[in-house]
Amino acid sequence: MMINSYGNQLKNKKKSFKIPLLILLSLFAAISLIYLLIIKLEGDKPSVTITSDSNYIGESFIFSGTVSDRKSGIRSIWAGILKDGKEKVLIDKQFPSKGITGGGDLFSTSFSISIEPKSLDLTDGKAILRIAARDFSWKDWNSGNLTYIEKEVIIDTKPPRADILTRHHNVNQGGSGLVIFRVSEPDTKSGVNVGGNFFPGHPGYFKDPYIFMAFFALAHNQDTETELFVQTTDRAGNHSRTGFYYHLRKKRFAKDSIRISDKFLNWKMPEFNIDFSGEKIQKFIEINQKLRKKNCGTILSLRNNSGSNIYWKDTFIRLAGSAKKAGFADFRSYRYKGKIIDKQYHMGIDLASITHSPVPAANSGRVVFSDVEGIFGKTVVIDHGFGLFSMYSHLSSIDVKKGQEISRGDPIGRTGTTGLAGGDHLHYGMFIHNTFVNPIEWWDGSWIKNNITSKINDVKRM
Could you state, in order of their start, the residue ranges of all structural domains in the chain?
47-155, 162-251, 255-314+321-454
**What is the C-alpha to C-alpha distance for residues 368 and 361, in angstroms, rounded to an integer?**
13
- Band (pLDDT 50/70/90 cuts) for residue 157 is very high
End-to-end CA distance of the chain: 130
Averaged pLDDT for residues 112-119: 92
Q: Does the pLDDT at position 33 exceed 80?
A: no
The residue type of 190 is S
The one-letter amino acid code at 12 reads N
Residue 356, pLDDT score? 96
Residue 161 has pLDDT above 60, yes or no: yes
Among 130-144, 217-231, 356-370, 413-427, where is mean pLDDT lowest?
130-144
Q: Give the mean pLDDT of 124-141.
A: 91
8-22, 93-107, 294-308, 413-427: least confident range = 8-22
CATH fold for domain 47-155: Immunoglobulin-like (2.60.40)
What pLDDT, in 10s, does the model give residues 314-354?
A: 999 999 888 889 999 999 999 999 999 999 999 999 999 89
Which of 206, 217, 131 minimizes the C-alpha distance to 177? 217
- Average pLDDT along the chain: 91
Same fold for the domain at 47-155 and the one at 255-314+321-454?
no
At residue 139 the predicted structure's pLDDT band, cuts being 50, 70 and 90, is: confident
Which phi and psi angles does 195 have, rounded to 5°? 60, 35
Q: Which residues of 92-107 are buried (b: 16+ CB within 10 A; e: fewer)?
A: eeebebeeeeebbeeb
Residue 443: alpha-carbon gap to chain centroid: 32
Work out the pLDDT band at 51, boundaries 50, 70, 90.
confident
Share of the chain above pLDDT 90, in %: 77
What local confidence, expressed as pLDDT, does residue 72 receive? 87
The CA-atom distances, in angstroms, between 341 and each of 271, 282, 348, 419 are: 21, 9, 22, 19
196 CA to centre of own chain:
16
SS3 248: strand
What is the mean pLDDT of the segment spanning 429-453?
A: 97
Distance CA 310, CA 437 (A): 18
Cα–Cα distance measured from residue 391 to residue 403, given in angstroms and rounded to the nearest whole number:
15
Mean pLDDT in residue range 269-288: 88
CATH class of 255-314+321-454: mainly beta
**Per-residue pLDDT at 105:** 82
**Can you tell me the distance from the alpha carbon of 42 to that of 325, in angstroms, rounded to the nearest whole number?**
79
What is the C-alpha to C-alpha distance for residues 226 and 229, in angstroms, rounded to an integer?
Answer: 10
Task: Measure the CA–CA gap between 55 and 78, rounded to whole angstroms.
Answer: 19
Q: Can you give the pLDDT at residue 140? A: 79
Find the range with the poorest average confidence among 94-108, 171-185, 189-203, 434-448. 94-108
- The amino acid present at 227, given as its one-letter code, is E
Amino acid residing at 405: E
CATH superfamily of 162-251: Immunoglobulins (2.60.40.10)
* pLDDT tier at 103, thresholds 50, 70, 90: confident
Is the per-residue pLDDT at 142 higher than 90? no
Q: Mean of the pLDDT values across residues 263-280?
A: 87
- What CA–CA distance (Å, rounded) separates 183 from 210? 5
Residue 431, SS3? Answer: strand
* Burial class for 298, CB neighbours closer than 10 Å (0-12, 13-18, 19+): middle
Q: To the nearest 5 percent, what fractions of the chain are helix, strand and coil?
A: 25, 40, 40
Of 244 and 97, more confident: 244
